[in-house]
Amino acid sequence: MLPLPTTMKAQVLTAYNEPYTLVDMPVPELTSPYDLLIKVEAASYCHTDAVCAAGGFQGHANAPTQWPHIGCHEFAGTVAQAFESNSEMDLVAHDFRIGDRYAVVDLRQVAPLPTSMSAKEAAPLMCAGLTIYAALRNCELQPGQRIAIIGCGGGLGHLGIQFAHRMGLKVVGTDTSKGALDLAQQLVKQSTIVDATKVKAEDLLQEIGKEDTVFERGQMGCDAAIILPESQAAFDYGMCLLKDRGTCVVVSFPRNGFTFSTQDVVFRHVSIIGSLVGSNRLLREMLTFTAKHGIKSTSKSFALSQLNELVEQHHSGVYGKLIVDMSLEDLSP
């Protein structure tokens, strides 16, 4: 292994609702036999980074336990140092103790990258990819059944429609911006992609019914719906598209929650379940599945020093993923 520098660059938050500051920090040290030091090559910005920076996790287990706090917790890189072994291998990791460009991770939480996958391709899979893959698996659908993905052109959605299609599901995707809709349509041509601002859920349901030649209200529509946006309108849209006994999978967590109709759960027997990230076993399965089917995340790269510009673009409503690519600038101390 190469000798390690003693300091590194990091983009840190020192308070809620403040921009990130680029600072020099000591390279983190290994303290446990489970620790691995990863040289981060690419790190992807996650929606929970934005929630965390805005103080949305205050009082919850996910809140920063100390300042400074570093964002972009989904990343990929190479092992720089292990507590005991000295083997060098490509790894991906998902952990909250990240320091760009080096991060200490728990070796029980990492997974080897398929050889065909670059760090830039892998980083957005570590949280967004795993989260939507797990949500799809939690629907427990069989090939040929139909899934609705509400928010199909976002960071999770654009991966979700590709996974769902490759799982053999019929895909219905909705979104609200032209960029997101175009991206989704281009990624999975066989899907039904709909602008939710123009087509009412009830009308889309009738269209699906016609396609399936099913005309009874409770029998037409989707077997499951995954809700990715935080709006009540998105939740209601997904619920409307469900068949009776369908499953609504909630992935987003708006501050004030969602309101559901008791009619839907009592008379239509719709199940509402939540889904959060996924296990390490599922992470490895998702990486293999992604490589096997050539699934790609659509991302836009920024240098580490441009993180605040990345965050601004995140808030202006982007589609696909925004990532920090460490190779875009010289970060040597």
Q: Please identify, using beta-carbon distances, which residue of 48 and 247 lies nearer to Zn ion.
A: 48
Calpha distance 161→31 (Å, rounded): 41
CB of 48 to Zn ion, least distance (A): 4
Applying CB under 5 A, which part among 11-19, 44-52, 102-110, 147-155 lies near Zn ion? Answer: 44-52
Q: Within 90-119, which residues bind Zn ion (CB under 5 A)?
A: none
Calpha distance 137→282 (Å, rounded): 9
Reading the block at residue 172, the tokens are 């219905």
Alpha helices in 72-148 (DSSP H): 119-122, 128-138
Establish if 46 lies at the interface with Zn ion (CB under 5 A).
yes
Calpha distance 160→175 (Å, rounded): 13
Q: Please identify, using beta-carbon distances, which residue of 43 and 150 lies nearer to Zn ion.
A: 43
Q: Please identify, using beta-carbon distances, which residue of 129 and 173 lies nearer to Zn ion.
A: 129
Q: Please identify, using beta-carbon distances, which residue of 48 and 81 lies nearer to Zn ion.
A: 48
Establish if 11 lies at the interface with Zn ion (CB under 5 A).
no
First to last CA, the chain: 18
CB proximity list for 266: less than 8 A, separation 6 or greater: none
Applying CB under 5 A, which part among 28-36, 125-133, 235-243, 279-287 lies near Zn ion? Answer: 125-133
Applying CB under 5 A, which part among 126-134, 166-174, 218-226, 319-327 lies near Zn ion? Answer: 126-134
Q: Please identify, using beta-carbon distances, which residue of 46 and 80 lies nearer to Zn ion.
A: 46
Q: Are 58 and 13 in contact (CB under 8 A)?
A: no
Q: Within 292-331, which residues bind Zn ion (CB under 5 A)?
A: none
Applying CB under 5 A, which part among 9-17, 47-55, 137-145, 259-267 lies near Zn ion? Answer: 47-55
Calpha distance 62→131 (Å, rounded): 16
Calpha distance 28→1 (Å, rounded): 16
CB of 127 to Zn ion, least distance (A): 3
Reading the block at residue 105, the tokens are 């991770």
CB of 8 to Zn ion, least distance (A): 22
Establish if 181 lies at the interface with Zn ion (CB under 5 A).
no
Cis bond upstream, residue 33 (ω within 30) = no
Establish if 53 lies at the interface with Zn ion (CB under 5 A).
no
CB of 333 to Zn ion, least distance (A): 28
Q: Please identify, using beta-carbon distances, which residue of 154 and 221 lies nearer to Zn ion.
A: 154
Q: Please identify, using beta-carbon distances, which residue of 74 and 223 lies nearer to Zn ion.
A: 74
The amino acid present at 199, given as its one-letter code, is V
Calpha distance 153→195 (Å, rounded): 11
The residue from 11, 48, 176, 299 that contacts Zn ion (CB under 5 A) is 48
Calpha distance 46→156 (Å, rounded): 10
Length of the chain equals 333
CB of 40 to Zn ion, least distance (A): 15
Cβ atoms < 10 Å from Cβ of 62 = 13
Q: Please identify, using beta-carbon distances, which residue of 13 and 193 lies nearer to Zn ion.
A: 13
Establish if 127 lies at the interface with Zn ion (CB under 5 A).
yes
Q: Please identify, using beta-carbon distances, which residue of 103 and 201 lies nearer to Zn ion.
A: 103
Calpha distance 93→178 (Å, rounded): 33
CB of 247 to Zn ion, least distance (A): 23
Q: What is the DSSP letter of 114?
A: P
Under the rule (CB under 5 A), what is the footprint of Zn ion? 46, 48, 127
